[in-house]
Amino acid sequence: MKYYVVPADFKTETIDKYYKLNNTYSDSKVIETYGQLTIGNSLGSGRAGDLIPKIDIHGLKNYISYSRDKGIGFSYTLNATCLGNREFEEEGIEEILGFLKKLYEIGVRSLIIAMPTLFEIVKMSGYDFEIKASTLCQITNVNKAVSFKKLGVSKIVLEESINRDFKTIKDIVGAFGDGVEIIVNVICHKNCTYRMFHQNQVSHDKEVNTKSSTYYSHRCMMKRAEEPSNLLKMNWVRPEDIKYYHEMGIQYYKLQGRQAVLHGDMVKTVESYFKESFDGNLMDLLDGFHSTNAFKVYIDNKKLDSFLKPFRTNDNFCKNNCDACNYCNKFVGKVVDLEQTKEVFDAATKFYQQCDHFNNSVKKIVNDGLHGKTDERSTGIAGSVEFDFE
């Protein structure tokens, strides 16, 4: 059996559709949705509050109850990677425990967590939450997987960077057991320079009235647009490839896309994975049929059938040294129109550079400083400020 974990839109009609899929397909099931409060949330998670569905605690309680009646669970994403050190102060610990109490009272029984401090607080709280280690825990090897198991987690979500390292995944499953989960519709660049810092930033964007910075998301898009082969390096798992992971003992498959559920079609995405076949643009599938930007490239999914073979048949095929390998660069011409893709990427890069609020702000301040527009406490050196440390 293949079990799917999907982002919540907090609509009962969507749960009805998943319930119908569960009763239509015999070997795949949606077993839970996941998400967070966006109103009255003081702790944050791995998604910025302004990009995901609005939900308060009363709405979440009703959603959890309705889902449970349909045989579908719910996991609360408590996977912030930074709490501003509040978890080390008594007042902060009381706040966290109070929040856990509210979640437990409305029916939450499963938490997705990234920070070791939160693992320990939850374990000592007295509430019998099931704990899942988030992909943000960066679990990429057996030692890390076993360490999190010792912290009391029952499931782990592997970091997407090892999705094509079949030997490592098989070793992790052998050491951890059947609670290993992978994200399949990956859209992040592999080994992204910004990943850790991006997650820290969005961990502070807790509620819907907090506008998330575009610094990291724009650089993510510019990274993708550096060259067409980067589209193949995002470590996605196609519906057609699910069977290879199932053969290794992976039973749990996660769909990302909390930012796409409002305007996309996650049910269609789920059914494509249930069918283990998709005929169309792979990018549409990965985006949950809701593109977050206008710079679309067509990747013919069916022409990717042979792409994964060397990763499966040769241990450590990808050595994370693209300049020395060139496999993806050679393959990408089979699945995209290179000339058209270059035009799209050039337009995307130009757009994101023009809309770079961070760079524009820095340049403005630097230029103002060079022209003498400094703080009135200026030492006389352009752009410098005298500070009083007493």
**272 near 32, Cβ under 8 Å?**
no
Q: Which of 195, 187, 96 is nearest to 136 (CA)?
A: 195
Cα–Cα distance measured from residue 47 to residue 77, given in angstroms and rounded to the nearest whole number? 9
Number of domains in the chain: 1
Which residue carries 């030692």 as its tokens? 143
- In degrees and rounded to multiples of 5, residue 131 shows phi and psi of -115, 130
Instruction: Name the residue with higher pLDDT: 251 or 364.
Output: 251
pLDDT of residue 357: 82
Establish if 98 belongs to a structural domain.
Answer: yes
Q: Which domain holds residue 292?
A: 2-336
Residue type, 220: C
- Going from the C-alpha of 174 to that of each of 1, 155, 233, the distances in angstroms are 18, 14, 26
Which residue is associated with the tokens 């939900």?
A: 55
Q: Is the pLDDT of residue 164 over 90?
A: yes
Q: Beta strand 180-183 with 28-35: parallel, antiparallel or unpaired?
A: unpaired
117 CB burial (10 A radius; 0-12, 13-18, 19+): middle
CB 66 within 8 A of CB 107: no
Paired strand residues for 30: 4
Quick one: average pLDDT of 16-28? 98
- Average pLDDT of the segment spanning 291-319: 92
CA 172 to chain centre: 20
Is 390 within a domain? no
What are 76's strand-pairing partners?
35, 111
Lowest mean pLDDT among 7-16, 48-57, 150-159, 237-246: 48-57
> Does some domain include residue 349?
no
Higher pLDDT among residues 50 and 228, named by residue: 228
In a domain, residue 380? The reply is no
**In the prediction, which pLDDT does 383 show?**
42
Give the pLDDT confidence score for residue 386 in this predicted structure: 40
Average pLDDT, the chain: 89
Answer yes or no: is pLDDT of 73 > 80: yes
DSSP string, 66-107: HHHHTT-EEEEEE--S--TTGGGSHHHHHHHHHHHHHHHHTT
Contact 305, 240 (CB under 8 A): yes
Stated pTM of the model: 0.88
Q: How does 170-198 read in b/e, with b if 16+ C-beta sit within 10 Å?
A: bebbeebeebbbbbbbbbbbbebebbeeb
Q: Is the pLDDT of residue 262 over 50?
A: yes
* pLDDT score for 377: 43
Instruction: At 303, give phi and psi (nearest 5°).
Output: -85, 5
DSSP state of 266: H
Q: Could you give the C-alpha distances from 326 to 163, 304, 320, 330, in angstroms and in order?
A: 19, 17, 11, 6
64 within some domain: yes
124 domain residue, yes or no: yes
Q: What is the pLDDT of residues 195-226, one digit of tens each?
A: 888 888 878 775 444 455 788 888 887 888 88
Is the per-residue pLDDT at 382 higher than 50? no
Q: How confident is the model at residue 359 (pLDDT cuts 50, 70, 90)?
A: confident
Identify the pLDDT of residue 46: 53
How much is the pLDDT for 50? 58
pLDDT in tens, 310-335: 999 999 899 999 999 999 999 999 99
Q: What percent of the chain has pLDDT over 90?
A: 68
Cα separation, 309 vs 131, whole angstroms: 34
Give pLDDT tens digits for 93-136: 999 999 999 999 999 999 999 999 999 999 999 999 999 999 99
Domain harbouring 44, CATH code: 3.20.20.70
Residue at 384 is within a domain: no
State the pLDDT at residue 381. 40
Whether residue 381 lies inside any domain: the answer is no
| Residue 92 confidence class, pLDDT cut points 50, 70, 90 | very high
